Structure 1
């Protein structure tokens, strides 16, 4: 029996609709690692990461019916609590064993600065091995499942590794890093994305975390426009008016979007977010303050 605090599996008709939304015509036959990687890549390409509702002061609901309606039926995107809730429900419907986890974000955060457990990711069991799957971190989101026990894949720019146990708690955590090409500043080399342990997280605990990131005045999600999507072999990311295009070799091309109209057009075209007239109007009002 499904516990009240677990994310349920998609119903058969929802499963088909989700797969179509991410460009997959047929239901996979078996819960394998190649299928898992295909699903991750497909969702990153077809359902954009975005925080438009939080930026506009709209309520963000992360129960599965609300997430399905927004991300699948309405053609919108979402952030980690929405994206990974949908992925979790889809994977469960396909026969995967999935456990939600929580992480502390370290991307562009100074080492001495503490962070809360504000990010949701998934632990997925495949062929007696454990992997993490994540489609909700934004620009540097891994494009495939990463093993928690097998040697690192040298063909990916990501590094997942354990850290020594904490002297006070006796528990350790895992670190996810992304390698950045050599540049002329201190941002080159391996950069931490987030840290997490393997403690299963009840879904109800994500409600408070979601409320904080979507409503608190100090949250990046209420102050900064963010969007991301995979476009072919390029990872697109938007922060306010700054558009970044990361190539497979790690190099990044940056473009400044000078106006609210340019940002809205980019959200609709490059990020493929379905913007109805009300959403367009709200963005046109909010973006001038965000862009400065």
Structure 2
């Protein structure tokens, strides 16, 4: 089974309900795709709590459905975008799995990064689009047309060569900031298993060393980077505040990101968060 394996009827109903959408099957149009993206960004938080707790991140499609839909959790790109790929496939969209090298927050001359980001290509009658509900930073609430070397709707830009490496960037108050680089070469699901293992277990992986959480709220994108809470609006305004207490951080996870860790995991999670918030020497 892969993310291109359709849901059962019951799973499709449950996934639409998880997104707060009616059970009626939306037709595979661009307008409906945008509605699905926006709903997913608001209802499925990006989060790496399992990685911080050194739990196995199982990206088998059935395990992802159980975690994100039945247990009402979030996840990172291999979970969020794979679940979304199954949803879109089930609704009749043509989906291709792609892979990127994350560059968010890095200087332009930083060393090459590994292929650790899953994103999606969707082909419609009027052309190809890029979809990504699984990035922990800025996120487009609409499918982005695959048009190279021009500014895209909503403050996005795709540069490069269609037959080579492309670079996705988001406009910010300080200028264009690169999110990731990728190619349009279709990927095999089996290769993401190795990428997921690296991302969740390699000691220097960003997800092993930092709390990363994000979700959309109205016209803003909320994010947590350890104790740094950020709210970015669509017009580029940024509000930030620091959280220095693990219990307050747990409250923010519940109230702003709708994440409710299991009661049995709270002691270990509180201890892990306290360590992340401790001043570094």
Alpha-carbon distance change, 160 to 233 in structure 1, aligned in 2, over 3 angstroms: same
Residue among 156, 163, 176 paired with 2:168: 176
| Structure 2 unaligned blocks of 5 or more | none
Counterpart in the other structure of 1:229 = 215
Aligned-residue offset at 1:153: 6.3
Secondary structure of 1:123's aligned partner: strand
Residue among 116, 125, 128 paired with 1:127: 125
Secondary structure of 2:273's aligned partner: helix
* In 2: Cα distance, 1:114 partner to 1:154 partner: 26
Tell me, yes or no, if structure 1 residue 261 matches structure 2 residue 258: no
| Structure 1 unaligned blocks of 5 or more | 166-170, 182-187
Aligned 1:149-168 pairs, distance under 5 A: 149=147, 155-161=153-159, 163-164=160-161
Secondary structure of 2:230's aligned partner: strand
TM-score, normalization by structure 2: 0.94
Tell me, yes or no, if structure 1 residue 75 matches structure 2 residue 72: yes
* In 2: Cα distance, 1:49 partner to 1:277 partner: 20
* In 2: Cα distance, 1:289 partner to 1:122 partner: 35
* In 1: Cα distance, 2:152 partner to 2:50 partner: 38
TM-score, normalization by structure 1: 0.91
* In 1: Cα distance, 2:265 partner to 2:149 partner: 45
Tell me, yes or no, if structure 1 residue 285 matches structure 2 residue 277: no
Aligned-residue offset at 1:110: 2.1
Alpha-carbon distance change, 106 to 269 in structure 1, aligned in 2, over 3 angstroms: same
Runs of 4+ with >6 A deviation: none
Counterpart in the other structure of 1:199 = 185
Counterpart in the other structure of 1:25 = 22
Tell me, yes or no, if structure 1 residue 239 matches structure 2 residue 237: no
| Aligned-CA RMSD value | 1.6
Q: Is the 8 A contact 1:180 1:250 kept in 2?
A: yes
Secondary structure of 1:37's aligned partner: helix
* In 2: Cα distance, 1:153 partner to 1:24 partner: 31
* In 1: Cα distance, 2:153 partner to 2:108 partner: 27
Aligned-residue offset at 1:22: 0.6
Aligned 1:202-217 pairs, distance under 5 A: 202-217=188-203
* In 1: Cα distance, 2:238 partner to 2:57 partner: 31
Secondary structure of 1:19's aligned partner: helix
State the number of aligned residues: 277
Aligned-residue offset at 1:10: 1.2
